[in-house]
């Protein structure tokens, strides 16, 4: 069966996987290891492994994910027996992925380590002082005191070892379920909303440790390929990855939907004391990431059309100038006056660099799949998949085709605009 293909480029028709859950993390919540941390920006592990198995059968041997996120492709690469490597620039998200990749450790040794942390925490009261106002709004004193005692017990023996990092993950992964306010993972914390039920930190931590050690034991009974490599790095350079290393790329970049990946982990990073408030996110996280939200470009407003002038963007310049001019004019009619025109220019500049580095790290004949969606800030349509495909070709890939998997913005009547959008897989070959 073939799904509808929207073909913009020179056709690379791919048989599409049976499932249609490419862009969502929800199925991963029932999958060992993937379920340790709910990263809502993640995509489907089942789909990623389907693509890998098919491409292994086609003779491919090395998969690369330049936006590795919580490690979905890397974990499935290990399961499928293909060499895998990834790059992730968000320090907190990269640490989550790296901790998950420690599933090969001894499950009992991890459990003993983490339960010793729990026992110590139970005997030593925590302290609610010194936390940011966000944390104060998210937790009642008794819950925060228990979380703090867990954190202090962990940090007393934290040494960067695999067991220490797995225990860190067990702790940060329960923070949202232990809060009685609106802490839905996608994306902002809503202190004025409440949840029906909040978990007790000690019980949630213990349950998480048993879930993780059980998953580790179960996974170790299965076969697996070489251990994946995760680099804390930037997809715009892919610096640690050797030339022509990969023959398969499976990834999902940030979308141009103004989603702020830095803010998405503010709760966890505030609890850890890595940021005090929203203002710290720029230096702690955002400056490392592809510029996909307006916060990224606050100081670049006057430079939009200089960005577009770069040779890097020549392939899509004419269309981009027209879209950016419309966005610049449209912003005058909106209270927020968001600099979407600058965000779009900066995003495609960054993605042009990503394609250039992907060309460097992929072998001739490589297959690349980007799970991506388009967008329409202020109702101005941005043909994201088409422009990404054209940038890929101008970076030296041979051809591209877009395979739509779902429509977006068709259900809701109260959206800010009624422009139909879609999401799907951009297949690039070359």
Ligand X SMILES: C[S@@+](CC[C@H](N)C(=O)[O-])C[C@H]1O[C@@H](n2cnc3c(N)ncnc32)[C@H](O)[C@@H]1O
Could you say whether residue 42 binds ligand X (CB under 6 A)?
A: yes
Beta bridge partners of 182: 190
CA separation for the pair 181, 357 (Å, rounded): 42
Could you say whether residue 173 binds ligand X (CB under 6 A)?
A: no
Least distance from ligand X to the Cβ atom of residue 22, Å: 10
Applying CB under 6 A, which of residues 74, 82, 85, 89 lies at the interface with ligand X? Answer: 89
Least distance from ligand X to the Cβ atom of residue 201, Å: 25
Least distance from ligand X to the Cβ atom of residue 425, Å: 13
Applying CB under 6 A, which of residues 51, 235, 344, 391 lies at the interface with ligand X? Answer: 235
Looking at beta carbons only, is 89 or 312 nearer to ligand X? 89
Could you say whether residue 64 binds ligand X (CB under 6 A)?
A: no
Could you say whether residue 67 binds ligand X (CB under 6 A)?
A: yes
Q: Which stretch binds ligand X (CB under 6 A): 56-64, 83-91, 171-179, 187-195?
A: 83-91
Residue 294, token pair as written in the block: 């307006």
Applying CB under 6 A, which of residues 69, 339, 389, 430 lies at the interface with ligand X? Answer: 69
Q: Which stretch binds ligand X (CB under 6 A): 82-90, 126-134, 358-366, 390-398?
A: 82-90
CA separation for the pair 146, 205 (Å, rounded): 10
CA separation for the pair 189, 342 (Å, rounded): 27
Residue 397, token pair as written in the block: 């890939």
Q: Which stretch binds ligand X (CB under 6 A): 14-22, 67-75, 120-128, 137-145?
A: 67-75
Least distance from ligand X to the Cβ atom of residue 188, Å: 16
Site mask for ligand X (CB under 6 A), range 91-120, x = bound:
--x---------------------------
User: How does strand 421-429 pair with strand 362-373?
Assistant: antiparallel
Least distance from ligand X to the Cβ atom of residue 169, Å: 14
Size (the chain), residues: 430
Could you say whether residue 70 binds ligand X (CB under 6 A)?
A: yes
Applying CB under 6 A, which of residues 132, 164, 167, 252 lies at the interface with ligand X? Answer: 252
Looking at beta carbons only, is 95 or 338 nearer to ligand X? 95
CA separation for the pair 153, 213 (Å, rounded): 19
Q: Which stretch binds ligand X (CB under 6 A): 37-45, 161-169, 191-199, 385-393?
A: 37-45
CA separation for the pair 229, 274 (Å, rounded): 25
CB neighbour list of residue 26: distance below 8 Å, 6 or more residues apart? none
State the CB neighbour count (10 A cutoff) for residue 310: 13
Could you say whether residue 228 binds ligand X (CB under 6 A)?
A: no
> How many residues bind to ligand X according to rule CB under 6 A?
21
Q: Which stretch binds ligand X (CB under 6 A): 110-118, 128-136, 176-184, 232-240?
A: 232-240
Could you say whether residue 254 binds ligand X (CB under 6 A)?
A: yes
Could you say whether residue 289 binds ligand X (CB under 6 A)?
A: yes
Residues forming contacts to ligand X in the complex (CB under 6 A) are 39, 41-43, 67, 69-70, 72, 87-90, 93, 234-236, 252, 254, 261, 289-290
């Amino acid at each position: 069966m073939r799904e509808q293909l929207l073909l913009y480029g020179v056709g690379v028709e791919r048989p599409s996987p049976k499932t249609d859950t490419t862009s969502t993390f929800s199925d991963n919540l029932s999958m060992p290891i993937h379920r340790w941390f709910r990263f809502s920006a993640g995509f489907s592990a089942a789909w990623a492994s389907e693509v890998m198995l098919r491409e292994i059968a086609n003779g491919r041997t090395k998969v690369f994910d330049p936006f590795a996120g919580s490690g979905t492709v890397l974990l499935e690469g290990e399961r499928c027996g293909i060499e895998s490597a990834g790059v992730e620039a968000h320090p907190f998200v990269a640490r989550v992925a790296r901790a998950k990749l420690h599933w090969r450790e001894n499950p009992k040794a991890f459990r003993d380590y983490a339960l010793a942390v729990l026992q110590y925490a139970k005997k030593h009261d925590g302290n609610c002082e010194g936390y940011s106002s966000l944390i104060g709004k998210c937790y009642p004193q008794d819950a925060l005191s228990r979380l703090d005692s867990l954190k202090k017990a962990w940090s007393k023996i934290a040494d960067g070892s695999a067991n220490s990092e797995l225990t860190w993950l067990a702790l940060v992964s329960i923070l949202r379920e232990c809060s009685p306010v609106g802490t839905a993972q996608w994306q902002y914390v809503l202190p004025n909303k409440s949840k029906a039920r909040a978990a007790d930190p000690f019980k949630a931590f213990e349950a998480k440790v048993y879930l993780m050690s059980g998953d580790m034991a179960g996974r170790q009974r299965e076969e697996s390929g070489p251990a994946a490599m995760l680099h804390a790095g930037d997809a715009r350079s892919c610096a640690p990855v050797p030339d022509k290393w990969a023959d398969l790329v499976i990834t999902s970049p940030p979308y141009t939907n103004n989603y702020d990946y830095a803010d998405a982990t503010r709760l966890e990073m505030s609890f850890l004391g890595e940021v005090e408030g929203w203002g710290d996110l720029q230096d702690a996280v955002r400056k490392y990431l592809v510029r996909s939200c307006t916060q990224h470009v606050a100081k670049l407003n006057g430079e939009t059309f200089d960005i577009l002038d770069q040779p890097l963007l020549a392939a899509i310049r004419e269309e981009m100038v027209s879209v950016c001019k419309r966005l610049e004019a449209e912003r005058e009619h909106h209270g927020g006056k968001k600099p979407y025109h600058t965000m779009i220019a900066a995003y495609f500049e960054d993605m042009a660099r990503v394609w250039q580095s992907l060309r460097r790290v992929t072998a001739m004949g490589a297959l690349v799949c980007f799970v991506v969606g388009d967008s329409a800030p202020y109702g101005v349509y941005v043909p994201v998949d088409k422009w990404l495909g054209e940038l890929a070709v101008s970076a030296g890939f041979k051809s591209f085709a877009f395979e739509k998997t779902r429509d977006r913005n068709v259900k809701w009547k109260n959206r800010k605009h009624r422009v139909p959008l879609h999401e799907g897989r951009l297949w690039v070959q070359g």
